[in-house]
Amino acid sequence: MSNKAIEDLAQIKTMMERSTKFLSLSGWSGIWVGLCGLIASGILYIWQTNSLYSYQDLTLNDPYQTTYNAFNLLSLALITFIVAVTGGFYFTIVKTQKQGKQFINSLTKRLLIRFSLPLVVGGILCLLWYKYNLLSFALPTTLIFYGLALYTVQEDTVKEVKIIALLQLLLGLVSFYFIDYTLLCWAIGFGLIHLLYGIILWNKYDKQN
Amino acid sequence: MKFDLDKLNKVFDNRIRVGIMSGLMVNESLSFNDLKEYLSLTDGNLASHLKNLEESQYITVTKGFIGRKTNTTYSATEEGKMAFKQHLTYLENLIKELK
């Protein structure tokens, strides 16, 4: 009778978790997003060291230079975002399907809506920085708003997300202060942290399967 | 609130009904499809247990539409929540007796 009680309680706990948290986040998603982040940082670094495409020049009031670089920067940002998000979703959707679950349900819809809001606000803010010729604030802004987006969904998914959120926020603030080291912070935040957490998540949740 | 312990035990004697209530304790409401997925059940099986919980007045049913598709959602009533907590205490006591 008591053994049945223990099993019952375990089942209650599982059901409560399953109906409130999305736990099928794949480690491969983190690894993929991390690699995208590192490659994008590498490209930015090459542009930065090449005087023609100097990232610092973006703050100068040279219209030709600004539009040209901003176009490159925006394309890179968009391509990185699309490639990273597509791959990130792909690995997680595959994992959900392997577990015989549907990816889209009311839980994941709520999670995605919560997650998107800070990202959209941050994206608009980046465009506003461009309007005021303050594009060097764009990278720290993406770190901060991405951190906020992760923080918003911490209750809805694996607990590691909260730690990543706090690290991104910290890096965002640091890179606002040390504006010369923005790219380094960004490479750590979007590249290294994702890569490491992807490996940690994979090790913890995916390895045995 | 006074409880009919016989009724409570009878309702929560079944794992599926306990599962449905667990979900509704931590969510304001859940749709039929959500419950079906979380508990990996067939339509008929889930419907009969939902009916039972509804008749015990532990859950309420709201019928709505998303576009043209029907969307039935379920929520736990106050009585249902208290009964479930009572059941949890009962389970905890059983485990304590073991020690």
pLDDT tens readout for residues B27-70: 999 999 889 988 888 899 999 999 999 999 999 999 988 888 88
Confidence (pLDDT) at B3: 58
- Among partner residues B27, B40, B94, which is closest to A5 by beta-carbon distance? B94
Domain count, chain A: 1
Q: Check A106 against B91: CB less than 8 A apart.
A: no
- Among partner residues A8, A100, A107, which is closest to B91 by beta-carbon distance? A8
Q: Check B37 against A102: CB less than 8 A apart.
A: yes
Q: How many CB atoms lie within 10 A of CB A48?
A: 16
Sign of the CA dihedral with A179 first, then A125, A173, and A193 last:
negative
Integer Cα distance of A26 and A110 in angstroms: 19
| Residue A2 maps to a domain | no
Q: Which residue of B has its CA nearest to A11?
A: B19
Q: Dump strand ranges (E) for chain A.
A: none
Q: Among A75-89, A165-179, B29-43, which stretch is predicted with the lowest mean pLDDT? A: B29-43
Residue B31's domain spans which residues? 5-92
Integer Cα distance of B37 and A108 in angstroms: 13
| Residue B75 maps to a domain | yes
| Residue A16 maps to a domain | no
DSSP H helical ranges for chain A = 2-20, 27-49, 63-98, 106-131, 138-152, 160-177, 182-186, 194-201
| Residue A67 maps to a domain | yes
Q: What is the pLDDT of residues A86-102, one digit of tens each?
A: 999 999 999 998 887 88
Binned at pLDDT 50, 70 and 90, residue B4 comes out as low
Domain count, chain B: 1
Confidence (pLDDT) at A209: 57
Confidence (pLDDT) at B95: 83
Residue A55 backbone dihedrals phi, psi, to 5 degrees? -65, -35
Confidence (pLDDT) at A184: 94
| Residue B99 maps to a domain | no
Q: How many CB atoms lie within 10 A of CB A43?
A: 14
Integer Cα distance of A134 and A15 in angstroms: 49
Q: Among A60-69, A133-142, B62-71, B75-84, which stretch is predicted with the lowest mean pLDDT? A: A60-69
- Among partner residues A2, A106, A107, which is closest to B98 by beta-carbon distance? A2
Classify residue A178 by its DSSP letter.
S
List the CATH number of the domain containing B53. Answer: 1.10.10.10
| Residue B59 maps to a domain | yes
Among all chains, which residue has been given the structure tokens 């998000």? A85
What is the four-CA torsion angle of B50, B56, B57, B59, rounded to 10 degrees? Answer: -30
Q: Give the distance between the most distant pair of CA atoms in chain A.
A: 79
Six token digits for residue B53: 């919980």
| B93/A141: higher pLDDT | A141
* Beta pairing, strands B69-76 & B30-31: antiparallel
Report the pLDDT averaged over residues A121-139: 90
- Report which secondary-structure segment, H or E, holds B73: strand B69-76
Contact list, A110 vs chain B (CB under 8 Å): none
Residue A169's domain spans which residues? 24-206
Mean pLDDT of the residues in chain B:
88
| Residue A134 maps to a domain | yes
Integer Cα distance of B39 and B34 in angstroms: 9
Q: Check A105 against B94: CB less than 8 A apart.
A: no
A/B interface, count of CB pairs below 8 Å: 56
| Residue A33 maps to a domain | yes
| Residue A3 maps to a domain | no
Q: Check A2 against B39: CB less than 8 A apart.
A: no
First to last CA, chain A: 33
Confidence (pLDDT) at B84: 93
Percent of chain A with pLDDT over 70: 89
Q: Among A48-52, A122-126, A189-193, A199-203, which stretch is predicted with the lowest mean pLDDT? A: A48-52
Buried b / exposed e over A97-128, threshold 16 CB at 10 Å, is eeeebeeebbbbeebeeebeebbeebbebbee
| Residue A4 maps to a domain | no
Among all chains, which residue has been given the structure tokens 């109906």? A19
- Among partner residues A5, A18, A102, which is closest to B91 by beta-carbon distance? A5
ipTM of the complex as predicted: 0.81
Contact present, A89 and A32 (Cβ < 8 Å): no
Integer Cα distance of A184 and A191 in angstroms: 10
